[in-house]
Amino acid sequence: MFKGINFAPFCRKGVLNTPPARESFDRMAEATGADFVILAPNGLQPVAQSEEICYTSEGTCTDSELVQAIRYAKAKGLRVALKPTVNCCNGVWRAYISFFEKDVICEPKWSNWFAAYADFQAHYAAIAEQEHCDLFIAGCEMVMSEHREAEWRGVIAAIRQQYHGPVTYNTDKYQEDNVTWWDCLDYISASGYYPIDRWELELDRIEAVVRRFDKPFLFTEAGCMSRTGAARVPNDWSLQGPLNLTEQADWYRAMFTACEKRSWIKGFGLWDWPAVLPNPRAQQDSGYGFCGKPAQKVVKEFYAKQDTTW
C-alpha cells in the first residue's frame, strides 16, 4: 500500500528545508503513519495560453532544496515520489491550459507548450533518477491537454530517458476513462475528490478502466475541506461554509471504507500537509489540511492497518 501524503506542495524558494519544514515533516510521519511522501516542485506560466514554463524563479524550490528534501525523507525511512506540476501565475486552474487544435501563425501553440512541458518534466526526472526516487508522477490534472495522445506519449518517453523507475500521471477526478494512453505508464492515478455518497459508483467506473489497461491504481491526490457542505463537493475549493471538522473526518472514513474493498487500489497521496505546522488554533482552519484535526486520526488508523508493499 502506497501510504502517501502530499507535503508542502508548490512551496516557494527557501521554504522546503527550513527547521520549521523539517519539524512539520517529522510530525507528519509520526502523526499519520505515512511511509511515502509526494513532493511537487512548481512550474509556472503566466496564463493558461503561455508557451513557456519557468521552474527557476522565487516561486519554485531550488534543485538543491529539492535534493536535500528527498534525502531527508529517505533518511527518515520514507519513500519519495516527485510530481512536477505546472500552475498559472494568474490563478487559473492548470486544467484549463489549452491551445488551438492546429498550429496557427502568430498564436500560441500546443507544439511549443509541449516542448516546454517535456523539458520541465525531464529536468525533474533526472533528479528523480539521481536521488533514486521511488515513483515519478508526470504532472497533475492537465484535463484540456489529455486528448493530445501523441504529445503525451512523447512526454512520457522523455521522462523515461532520464528516469528508470515507475512512472504515472495524475489525471483529475472523473477523467480516468478519458485518458487513452495509460498503457505507456506503470500506474493509473487520479485525484480522488468524490462526493461522500458516490464512492462506490465512481470506483465501479474506475475499475472498468483498471481492467481494460491491466494496471494498478493510485489516488495520488485525495482530500476534503473541513467545512459544512464540503463532503458533497470535495473538489470545490471555493465553497463557503462554517467550520465542520466532523464532516472532513467522515469523508475520509467513507473514502477508506469504500477503497479498501478494491484490491486494485494500491494507495493514496492525501492532500495535504503544510510546510509549517499550524498554530495551536489549527482546528479553526476549514481548508483541506488535516493536521491536528479529527481526520488525522482517521488517516493514522487506516494507514496502520495497511502493509507497505505496492
* Mean pLDDT of the residues in the chain: 96
The confidence score (pLDDT) of residue 284 equals: 80
Q: Are 248 and 225 within 8 A, CB to CB? A: yes
| pLDDT at residue 137 greater than cutoff 90 | yes
Whole-model pTM: value is 0.97
Q: In this structure, how many other beta carbons lie within 10 angstroms of the beta carbon of residue 165?
A: 16
pLDDT tens, residue by residue, 31-85: 999 999 999 999 999 999 999 999 999 999 999 999 999 999 999 999 999 999 9
Residue 132, CB half-sphere, CA atoms under 13 Å: how many? Answer: 7
The confidence score (pLDDT) of residue 105 equals: 93
Better pLDDT: 285 or 82: 82
| Helix locations, 135-260, DSSP H | 149-162, 199-213, 245-259
* Predicted confidence band of residue 196 (pLDDT cuts 50, 70, 90): very high
Helix (H) or strand (E) holding 75: helix 63-75
**Hey, what's the cell of 137?**
508522477
**Cα–Cα distance between 152 and 54 in angstroms, integer?**
19
The class that CATH gives domain 2-305 is alpha beta
**Cα–Cα distance between 206 and 217 in angstroms, integer?**
9
Residues 6+ apart with CB under 8 A from 209: 176, 177, 182, 188
